Amino acid sequence: MDLGISGKRALVCASSKGLGRGCAEALAEAGCTLVMNARGSEALESAAADIRAAHGVEVVTVAADIVDPDGRARVLEAAGQVDILVTNAGGPPPGIWSDWDRQDFLDALDGSMLTPIALMQALMPAMISRGWGRVVNITSRSVKSPLLNLGLSNSARAGLTGFVAGTSRQVADKGVIINNLLPGVHDTDRIGQLDRVTSEREGISMEEARRRGEARIPAGRYGRADEFGKMCAFLCSAHAGYIVGQNIVLDGGETFATI
Ligand code: NAP
């Protein structure tokens, strides 16, 4: 299927690895030029080189912390006007309600709610004036069903979800389409870290932690960044103009719900 976005310019935040990289790859495959970002430059440059070689598209890189206002300003300056925005950053650390103080909550809100909102506020006015734009926020299935060891994520991502629920309906008639993608367990560095926490807490091997994790998922496996990226590219496509303010769960069926 031609996604109808060849030549569009996409900013994909936090995209040197994992889910962000999967989105960058799929958008490049669809013919988009890219602005890619991550804090570490080595993995970022390597990912950008791979994508240029595989898809022949222009890729601009900005090594910066997207959560830090100065870093975000550098990314926005390099990005200029973009047609497509994919927001992403590292998730809050695991823990439970009694672990955190006010600063921990503020940090989680900064990374998982206020940063994507700031990016949308910066980039959507130009999308609106051109009459076309796409925003995909990478959130988490914790928005639909709380993850008991990720209370900061449950809390902060709920705030972003509320913002998108209203705002997506205020900009859809201007051609700007906002949706959220909610990953369940995907095979990335982040999940390796969470498996490590489980293995240490339960006194089991990493392999056993993963086996137990996969056994909880009806699809019987962890998800892959490339299949996540293809869904992201579809939501950014010319064909997604009637999908507004949705929270699409990609979790192999792990969240039990009828609708
Ligand atoms: P990952 O494999 O650890 O990759 C994270 C990517 O983001 C890396 O490229 C990292 O590069 C970059 N990054 C992290 N913090 C950044 C920042 N402040 N500024 C700029 N770049 C940053 O993580 P992932 O699994 O793809 O997860 C992505 C998001 O999805 C996270 O918020 C995570 O909580 C959420 N999520 C993931 C899963 C899953 O199963 N993987 C499930 C639910 C939710 P640098 O470190 O060099 O900056």
The full set of domains in the chain, from first to last, is 9-184+224-244 (3.40.50.720), 186-222 (no CATH)
Return the residue whose CA atom lies nearest to atom 2 of ligand 1. 18
pLDDT at 106: 98
Per-residue pLDDT at 215? 96
CA distances from 96 to 93, 138, 180, 194 (A): 10, 22, 25, 14
Averaged pLDDT, 100-124: 98
Averaged pLDDT for residues 134-140 = 98
Q: What is the pLDDT of residue 110?
A: 98
pLDDT at 194 over 90: no
Pocket test for ligand 1, best of 19, 112, 149 (most atoms within 8 A of CB): 19
pLDDT at res. 193: 84
Q: What is the residue-averaged pLDDT of the chain?
A: 97
pLDDT at position 252 is 98
- Determine the distance separating the centroid of ligand 1 and the alpha carbon of 68, expressed in angstroms: 15
Q: What is the pLDDT of residue 104?
A: 98
Average pLDDT over residues 61-88: 98
Q: What pLDDT score does 197 carry? A: 87
For the beta sheet containing 33-38, the strands, ordered from the edge strand earlier in sequence to the opposite edge, are 59-63, 33-38, 9-12, 84-87, 133-138, 176-183, 247-250
Per-residue pLDDT band at 244 (split at 50, 70, 90): very high
- Residue 139's pLDDT is 98
193 alpha carbon to ligand 1 midpoint, in Å?
11
Q: So what's the pLDDT on residue 191?
A: 85
Segment 11-20 shows an average pLDDT of 98
From 17, 136, 182, 195, mutation site for ligand 1 pocket: most ligand atoms within 8 A of C-beta? 17
Nearest residue CA, atom 37 of ligand 1?
183
Q: Which residues line ligand 1 (CB under 6 A)?
A: 14-20, 37-40, 43, 65-67, 88-91, 138, 140, 183, 185-186, 188-191
| Pocket test residue of 41, 188, 254 for ligand 1, highest count of atoms within 8 A of CB | 188
pLDDT at 192 over 90: no
pTM beyond 0.95:
yes
Give the phi and the psi of residue 156 in degrees, each rounded to 5: -70, -40
Q: Secondary structure of the chain in the HEC alphabet?
A: CCCCCCCCEEEECCCCCHHHHHHHHHHHHCCCEEEEEECCHHHHHHHHHHHHHHHCCCEEEEECCCCCHHHHHHHHHHHCCCCEEEECCCCCCCECHHHCCHHHHHHHHHHHHHHHHHHHHHHHHHHHHHCCEEEEEECCHHHCCCCCCEHHHHHHHHHHHHHHHHHHHHHHHHCEEEEEEEECCECCHHHHHHHHHHHHHHCCCHHHHHHHHHHCCCCCCCECHHHHHHHHHHHCCHHHCCCCCCEEEECCCCCCCCC
